[in-house]
Amino acid sequence: MTAKQASATRTMPERVEIVAAPPLALALCWRGAELVRLDLRRAEAPQLPADASPEACAVHAALARLAAGEPAEFPRLPLAWGQLAPFTRTVLETLYGSVGFGATVTYGELARLAGQPGKARAVGQAMARNPWPLVVPCHRVLGAGGGLTGYTNPHGLELKALLLRLEGALTTTAQGA
């Protein structure tokens, strides 16, 4: 088995739970007791499986608050931090613990917060590898001038702007970028 195949096996989910509160949905992808990935999607209808885990119920409640424009802190979840490369883990853990609801940070500021000054581009690459969008809030990371840049979700910058608007964090400067 190659290193790439071994890595894919470690992140392949055993179980998936989808929760939705329009306009957003999250697929919680579990491997054992850890979340290996969250897939952020657009949603047309509410969804919460009858047999949803307590974590999925808590995520659904936070999504519903966010969709209603209310402050929404996502619950602490059993994220599979060990699957990440050390630099990516450091940057994502810093973002997770430092940039709360309604706040934003630039790639350069996040690099400094993570103890990696001057590594804004590497921070951008770490954001692109974030397996837990929304919960580890990579949408809160902006370009140097406060502009919307670099959101790798299939819905792109439009979804990043929506998330920031829902949090009340989209400034005129960022919106015009």
pLDDT confidence of residue 2: 53
Most confident of the following: 3-17, 60-74, 152-166: 60-74
Q: Which among 127, 158, 132, 154 is positioned nearest to 143, based on CA atoms?
A: 127
Residues near 44 by beta carbon (within 8 Å), at least 6 away in sequence: 22
Choice among 18, 24, 25, 138 that is catalytic: 138
Does residue 10 have a pLDDT over 60? no
pLDDT confidence of residue 157: 85
Q: Distance between alpha carbon 53 and the CA centroid of its chain, in Å? A: 20
CATH class of segment(s) 84-176: mainly alpha
pLDDT confidence of residue 171: 56
Residue pLDDT, tens place only, 70-86:
999 899 999 999 999 99
- Region 18-35: mean pLDDT is 96
| pLDDT category of residue 104 using cuts at 50, 70 and 90 | very high
Mean model confidence pLDDT for the chain: 89
Question: Is 138 annotated in the active site?
Answer: yes
Q: Which residues pair with 18 in a beta bridge?
A: 27
Q: Residues, the chain, total? A: 177
Most confident of the following: 8-12, 87-91, 146-150: 87-91
Strands 141-142 and 105-106: parallel
Helices 86-98, 120-128: inter-axial angle, 10-degree rounding: 90
Does residue 177 have a pLDDT over 50? no
- Region 150-167: mean pLDDT is 84
Compute CA distances 97 → 53, 67, 113, whole Å: 24, 22, 11
- Region 52-67: mean pLDDT is 96
Q: What is the pTM of this model?
A: 0.86
Question: What are the start and end residues of each CATH 1.10.10.10 domain in the chain?
Answer: 84-176
